[in-house]
Amino acid sequence: MPAVKLGGLFVVPLAVAAMIVLVGGRAGFAENSRAPRLLPENTVAYLRIDDVQELVEQFGETALGRMLRDPQVKPFVGHLYGSAAEEFRGIEKDLGLSLDQLAEIPQGEVCLAVVPTKQGNPAMVAMVEVGQKLSMARKVVGYLQAQMEERGDRKTTETWQGAELTVLHGAASPKDHVVFFEREQTIVATSDLELAKQIVSSWGAAKTPNLSGSSSFAAISEQLSKANDEDPQLTYFVDPIKLAKSISTDNMALQVGLSVLRLLGLDGLLGVGGSLTFGGERFESIYHVHVLLDSPVTGVLDVLTLRPGDVTPEVWVPNDVATYMTMHWDFMKSYSAFVEVYDFFQDKDAWSTNVEDPIGKQFGVDMERDVLAALDGRITRITWIDESTSEQVPLLGLKLKDAAAFRRTLGKMVSAAPSLFAKRTVAGVGCFHFSPGTEPDEGGLAGNLPDSCIAILGDYLLIAGSEKLLERAVATKKGDSQPLGQEFDFKLIASMIKRKADGKKPAAIWFERPVVRLRATYETLRSDETKRAVAKLADRNKAFEALHKAMSDSPLPPFSVLEKYFGVSGGLATSDKAGIHGVGFTYRRK
């Protein structure tokens, strides 16, 4: 038996449950949801949709959903769905249900969960509320049971508190089994008999220990409830450390690894949870994520140290960026935590020996004292599409405490490794083209870094992926073009960020124009090169055969046809004693 296993026999019903979810709500939190009151308190992972049909309906109103219904895209999608339906016909005959009928089965709540067991291996649970589609759901369950019996599994039944439990015992191992039962128009499948009985017992009980009473789950649910103005349709929760512990029961190496994680302070990560909402007049989607941390944060989790600060876009950020992200990070604290972890897994002073000393020798500076200590803590990253090449070019901006002092530090680095730097002038600003590949023998650690253009602009150190992007940044700072902060679409995102921050000062914000980022990717998919690659694979793979036929018979339209569907998106992150909370949203384009 494998040491890490989530119930071998349960793979088939879990896959079907997942398929039903994907082809198929409003997801409330613990106080409004049935699943958290049925699942055990020690549940370590949980994904829940309140109403699958509603989720599908709302997804249909997103940019992707509307795009798939576009008259010029619909034939392509129809080809793919028709191919899938054709492939399903072999199962349809035995199952007695078409693919369309299968998609109708979930009529409300769907939940997937992972629960530790006394036997050691964690159990999987799937709950699907089927409503008036119970007879169709029974056909699916019957089909699965028949498939298992055909491969040698033994079926037994027993009654527990009024519920008939159907148990499929694995042919390879008596410990390997799947349990099915029905309750209140809901189909439940799990890989553990005792867990099935526990869920049945909780169904009608007034008060039993359950997931909603878990301190981590409750704390995250409270944070999500306070942050949500809308009713989310999907929620999730995971306790990473306890999940790893449940998986490592029969694996000594994993147990040792967990002990190491505790020594590093990772057991201070108490849980991660989030929610997703589709639909609404103003928004396509809104998501929340909360990282629950023990207080005070210690050890390796110090790497996550964020702090509130100014998030106004810098005056050098061009107005035509594809993405913008800025954050305030305690570099020194995070660096110390990272070095501690590195040395823990290597040897004492390994980081100094392997990284700091070689950098000092190659560039003539002390990495911690001369470089990291010179950083103010604000870090900004943008991406920009070079229209001449359709490439996405990055730029990293690091705010400096003293730009004049760091200019001298940069000069020392150039003097110490002159073969790696070429002096340039871009839009009247002096810069250095860093190219570690020019002299392989002298590259050292720098040989792992990409070519880039380095300049000090105002109080920022800019590291750009191309001179063209650096030139755009310089021109923007000089006032030759409007900066991002004055763009209407960014102001739209900024106003929502202010509202969602609810009086808190963000530690990070982000902004994205999906239409800019996706254009190049989409046109690549339409390219002749992609078509030829798909055609080669079509002879060996039915999925690629279907894709090739769809691309040939119903070609996708130019991206200009689809631009009208995509709005801008953005978000923010805050950090406090309750942990790190992130909110992201996408505006609906009218």
Under a CB-based contact definition with an 8 Å cutoff, are residues 513 and 46 in contact? no
| Structure confidence by residue, pLDDT tens digits, 304-357 | 778 899 999 999 999 999 999 999 988 888 888 788 878 877 888 898 999 899
Residue 128, domain member (yes or no): yes
Tell me how far the alpha carbon of residue 305 is from its chain's centroid. Answer: 20
Largest CA distance in the chain: 83
Ranges 169-178, 235-244, 377-386: which has the least confidence: 169-178
Q: State percent of the chain over pLDDT 70.
A: 87
Asked if residue 586 has pLDDT above 60, the reply is: yes
Bridge-based pairing state of the strands 177-183 and 186-190: antiparallel
In a domain, 239, yes or no: no
For 45, the domain range is 8-51+107-227
Domain presence at residue 287: no
What pLDDT, in 10s, does the model give residues 1-19?
333 334 444 444 444 444 4
pLDDT tens for each residue of 569-579:
999 999 888 78
Query: What does the pLDDT average to over 181-207?
Result: 90
CA angle 517, 520, 524 (to 5 degrees): 140
Supply the pLDDT for residue 518. Answer: 85
Lowest mean pLDDT among 15-19, 111-115, 223-227, 372-376: 15-19
* Global pTM value: 0.84
Q: Does residue 218 lie within any of the structural domains?
A: yes
444-456 pLDDT, tens per residue? 555 555 678 999 9
pLDDT of 458 > 70? The answer is yes
The better pLDDT of the pair 256, 236 is held by: 236
Residue 157 has what pLDDT? 93
Which segments of 339-451 are extended strands (E)? 375-386, 391-400, 421-426, 429-434
CATH assignment of the domain containing 159: 3.40.1000
pLDDT of 312 reads 96
Q: Number of folded domains in the chain?
A: 1
| Per-residue pLDDT, 121 | 81
> Which of 276, 329, 305 has the alpha carbon at shortest distance from 54?
276
The secondary element (H helix, E strand) that includes residue 579 is strand 579-587
Q: Is residue 408 part of a domain?
A: no
Answer yes or no: is 38 within a domain.
yes
Least confident of 34-48, 76-90, 131-145: 76-90
Per-residue model confidence as pLDDT tens digits over 290-319: 999 887 666 667 667 788 999 999 999 999
Question: Distance between terminal CA atoms of the chain?
Answer: 55
Residues in the chain: 590
pLDDT in tens, 92-133: 888 899 888 998 999 999 999 999 988 778 899 999 999 999
Assign 442 a pLDDT band (cuts: 50, 70, 90): very low
More confident residue, 586 or 31: 586
Residue 568 reports pLDDT greater than 50: yes
Task: Report the distance separating Cα 80 and Cα 84, nearest Å.
Answer: 6
Domain annotation covers residue 452: no
Whole-angstrom Cα distance, residue 464 to residue 397?
8
At 259, is the pLDDT very low, low, confident or very high (cuts 50, 70, 90)?
low
Residue with tokens 């073009």: 481
Is the per-residue pLDDT at 436 higher than 80?
no
pLDDT band at 44 (very low <50, low <70, confident <90, very high): very high
406-416: pLDDT as tens digits: 999 999 999 99
Residue 181 lies in a domain: yes
Given a cut of 90, whether residue 182 has pLDDT beyond it is yes
Which pLDDT score is estimated for 525? 87
